[in-house]
Chains A and B, each alone.
Chain A
Amino acid sequence: MIPALVRGFLADYARNRTNLLVLVLVPVAFVVAAAPALADAARLLGGQGGAPAIEAVTAGWASAFISALAMYFQVSAGRDTDRRLVLAGLPGRRLAQARVLCGLIIASLASAAALLALVATSGLEDPGRVVAGTVMFSVIYLGIGAAVGSRVRNPVNGTVLILFIWILDVFFGPTLSGSTQPISRALPTHFVSLWMVGVPSGHEGRLGDLGWALAWTAASATVALVVIRPPGRAAARRTLAAGSRPDQLRAALGTGLREWRRNPVLWVLLAVVPAVFVLLADAITPSGSTPVVLNEGGTLVTRAMDPAHMHAGTMAPIAVASLATLAGLFLALDARSGDQRLTLAGMRSSTLASARLTVVSMAATLATVASLAVTALVFDAHQWVLYGMANLLVALTYAFLGVIIGPVLGRVSGVFVAFLLPFMDLGIAQSPMLRGAPPGWAEVLPGYGGIRVLTDAALTSTFDEAGYLVLGLGWLAVLAAGAWTALRRSSAVVKPRTRRTARGSAPTAQAHAHG
């Protein structure tokens, strides 16, 4: 069945003459005409691998571009007919396999055209590596084309998006730009391009550059298989009992998220606060030396650190916490009056409070991601995953604090305190920039545990602060309970005692005065 499908898909592709022309012409033109100019550009920008290597990589870039476009059009144009095939009885898994196989054949043809052009112009210095690298380029972009095709229907938008990703990858990649920024490691062909030109990345870890390249390739092929697979017959949608707890939770969560994302102020703050806090801190801090007490394998040691190196990393949690506090504050205040009416209509106040707390947590997570993305431009943590988790811990802690202070302080004072509180706690009391270790009074503040973990993750290569992690999680649990209670109380109603009246009349409920 799969060969028949592949033949059909290939015939569909080949019967468009432009496709065939593009399949051969673009790789050839790119390798023959653009490679020398790109090699010159790489020389100017400090690209790695030298001119012959750049010319070899152009084969990969060309085949990647063709693969992505071919896969994009296969997926986006065939989506409705693919769905129809599945509804007619074709297993979706088989259809996805056939589409990917067809894409691989097209990618191989594009790679072959590019490699032939390369052989004709400058030859292959290391044929095995160049051929394997070019194929990996193709497969990685095959997944990208499939992912874009499954989401973007408009062909102009789809091709522009693919072109944008490709340009970022090519021009900010290590072989052309010579960039050593940590963020450039996330580019799809970062590792494969370095492996192809035989330049070790220096941050390949145990997996090695080839291992990372193969991992990207395998992940991309898997993504293609997953996103292409059309949904089967629509199963009867599982409906939740109207008014049940899960039904109300889903409704409150859905509308809560919708309302929150429509708040333009939060989006502006998400963009501006991390940039101002983190990038400015990095830009204005002069080099020097400051003592910082660190836990290395259970032993406290005092290290001399360069403030210019670590300031951005220590500023990130302040940005994160300010944003998260604001998110909690706004949400608690905005929801207050509507929530009570909703509870009067029958929404469970505990369910509503849980939904609101979930939205706040998601807002805090987004604030963390936004701040970390900016921080990664100027700061390299020793343990990135742990550093990110510590930032998230601080974010959630302060988001729940925002929920609690919102109803007490109101909007104007609340906003002021939302910036002041994280600044006093994280920026003054806990900051390793100001003193080697926090003073005694700082230990009772909510950011103490989280910042100790964060400092450990940012400046040392092993995790040694389990005790402080427990302390931070303890604060988080207490504040989460406080925030939940505050939200529940703000929407609470006087609960009547339901009682059925005599002689079968309408069910009624009684409310009594307290006390």
Chain B
Amino acid sequence: MDALSQLTGSGGVVLAAHGIDKAYRRGSWPARRAVPVLAGVNFSMHKGEVVGLVGENGSGKSTLMKILVGALAPDAGEVERATRLGYCPQVPQLYERLTCDEHFELFGHAYGIAGRVERESRASIYAALGFERYARARVSQLSGGTTAKLNLGLALLADPEVLLLDEPYAGFDWDTYLRFWDLVADRRIAGRSVLIISHFVADEERFDRILDLRDGRAVPR
């Protein structure tokens, strides 16, 4: 706790995890067993940093992401984070029968941002990712790529200090992929931090740091 406080209290740290353990329970009693996924993960991220977190399938990347955002409780350890996070889950968690506009409106209320700010932010996200023509389309009518854009857009809506993106560009075409990196670059310039989880990293030069999740621990690549 003290070490963590020292960590976040200096050097502009906006997200930190200390000693995160997580195991999933598999099987039924009496053959029930614990499968460890994360074993003492230590991690921190600074203001304006773009960090990549890579690892093999099943290495615990999404589990760590869920613990960082608060969707999952760790078995042990602590997380300290900026008040406002933007989270883009790997599987889009959206409402099938609501439109893109309605999603932005609803999430605007959840983030607690004013209506005018939400509308301006929404317009800039549509423009940046190029899917304004689907503003009134329901999620059930969207292609996979447009759903991924909406998924990302909802994380960007409140201009959070920290953006946590779980496989954000899966399903993007090349043009959208490049737009995505423009967005990330803009955020870095504005002093915002971005953590991107992916099972592979193609453009290493776009990251400030890349961490490997190996044997339940995050190690620098």
A262 touches B138 (CB 8 A): yes
B87 touches A344 (CB 8 A): yes
The residue in B80, B107, B161 that gathers the most chain A C-beta atoms within 10 A of its C-beta is B80
Residues 234-265 of A contacting B (Cβ, < 8 Å): 239, 242-244, 247-248, 250-252, 255, 258-259, 262-263
Interfacial chain A residues near B97, Cβ < 8 Å? 258-259, 262-263
A411–B13 alpha-carbon span in the complex (Å): 44
B98 touches A258 (CB 8 A): yes
A-B contact pairs, 26 of them (CB 8 A): A242-B108, A243-B111, A243-B112, A247-B112, A252-B109, A255-B102, A258-B97, A334-B96, A337-B91, A340-B93, A344-B70, A345-B87, A494-B67, A494-B73, A495-B70, A496-B81, A499-B80, A503-B9, A505-B8, A507-B83, A508-B83, A509-B83, A510-B80, A511-B79, A511-B80, A514-B73
Q: Which residue of the partner chain A has the closest CB to B84?
A: A346
Distance in Å: Cβ of A350 to nearest Cβ of chain B: 13
Residues 297-342 of A contacting B (Cβ, < 8 Å): 334-335, 337-338, 340-342
Q: Which residue of the partner chain A has the closest CB to B157?
A: A345
A344–B84 alpha-carbon span in the complex (Å): 10
Interfacial chain B residues near A513, Cβ < 8 Å? 20-21, 73-78
With contacts A344-B71, A508-B82, A511-B70 known, is A242 near B109, CB below 8 A?
yes
Distance in Å: Cβ of B72 to nearest Cβ of chain A: 7
Give B85-103 as 1s and 0s: 1 = Cβ < 8 Å from A's Cβ atoms: 1010101011111100010
Binding site for A on B (CB under 8 A): 4-5, 8-10, 12, 14, 20-21, 47, 67, 69-83, 85, 87, 89, 91, 93-98, 102, 105-115, 138, 154, 158, 161
Contact of B9 among A255, A502, A509 (CB under 8 A): A502
Q: Is A512 at the interface (CB under 8 A from chain B)?
A: yes
A250–B106 alpha-carbon span in the complex (Å): 10
A146–B12 alpha-carbon span in the complex (Å): 65
Give A473-515 as 1s and 0s: 1 = Cβ < 8 Å from B's Cβ atoms: 0000000000000000000011110110111011111111110
A243 touches B8 (CB 8 A): no
Interfacial chain B residues near A514, Cβ < 8 Å? 73
Q: Is A114 at the interface (CB under 8 A from chain B)?
A: no
Distance in Å: Cβ of A300 to nearest Cβ of chain B: 50
A511 touches B81 (CB 8 A): yes
B79 touches A496 (CB 8 A): yes
Q: Is A347 at the interface (CB under 8 A from chain B)?
A: yes
Interfacial chain B residues near A346, Cβ < 8 Å? 110-112
B107 touches A345 (CB 8 A): yes
A498–B106 alpha-carbon span in the complex (Å): 24
Interfacial chain B residues near A243, Cβ < 8 Å? 109-113
Interfacial chain A residues near B78, Cβ < 8 Å? 510-513
Q: State the total of A-B contacts with C-beta under 8 angstroms.
A: 142
**Interface SS, B side:** mixed
Interfacial chain B residues near A507, Cβ < 8 Å? 82-83
A508 touches B110 (CB 8 A): no
B95 touches A259 (CB 8 A): yes
Contact of B105 among A255, A263, A338, A502 (CB under 8 A): A255
Distance in Å: Cβ of B179 to nearest Cβ of chain A: 23
A207–B70 alpha-carbon span in the complex (Å): 63
The residue in A258, A343, A344, A503 that gathers the most chain B C-beta atoms within 10 A of its C-beta is A344
A263–B8 alpha-carbon span in the complex (Å): 47
A242 touches B96 (CB 8 A): no
With contacts A255-B95, A340-B71, A341-B89 known, is A506 near B161, CB below 8 A?
yes
Interfacial chain B residues near A334, Cβ < 8 Å? 95-96
B73 touches A242 (CB 8 A): no
The residue in B72, B76, B95, B111 that gathers the most chain A C-beta atoms within 10 A of its C-beta is B95
A251–B81 alpha-carbon span in the complex (Å): 27
Interfacial chain A residues near B91, Cβ < 8 Å? 337
- List 6 other contacts, CB 8 Å, given A252-B109, A344-B87, A494-B72: A255-B105, A263-B97, A338-B95, A499-B80, A501-B8, A511-B79
Give A53-71 as 1s and 0s: 1 = Cβ < 8 Å from B's Cβ atoms: 0000000000000000000
Interfacial chain B residues near A247, Cβ < 8 Å? 109, 112
B109 touches A248 (CB 8 A): yes
A498–B85 alpha-carbon span in the complex (Å): 13
Q: Which residue of the partner chain A has the closest CB to B116?
A: A242
Q: Which 6 A-B pairs have the closest CB atoms?
A: A243-B112, A251-B109, A347-B110, A341-B93, A262-B97, A345-B110
A494 touches B70 (CB 8 A): yes
The residue in B83, B108, B154 that gathers the most chain A C-beta atoms within 10 A of its C-beta is B83
Q: Which residue of the partner chain A has the closest CB to B155?
A: A345
B109 touches A347 (CB 8 A): yes
Interfacial chain B residues near A252, Cβ < 8 Å? 106, 109
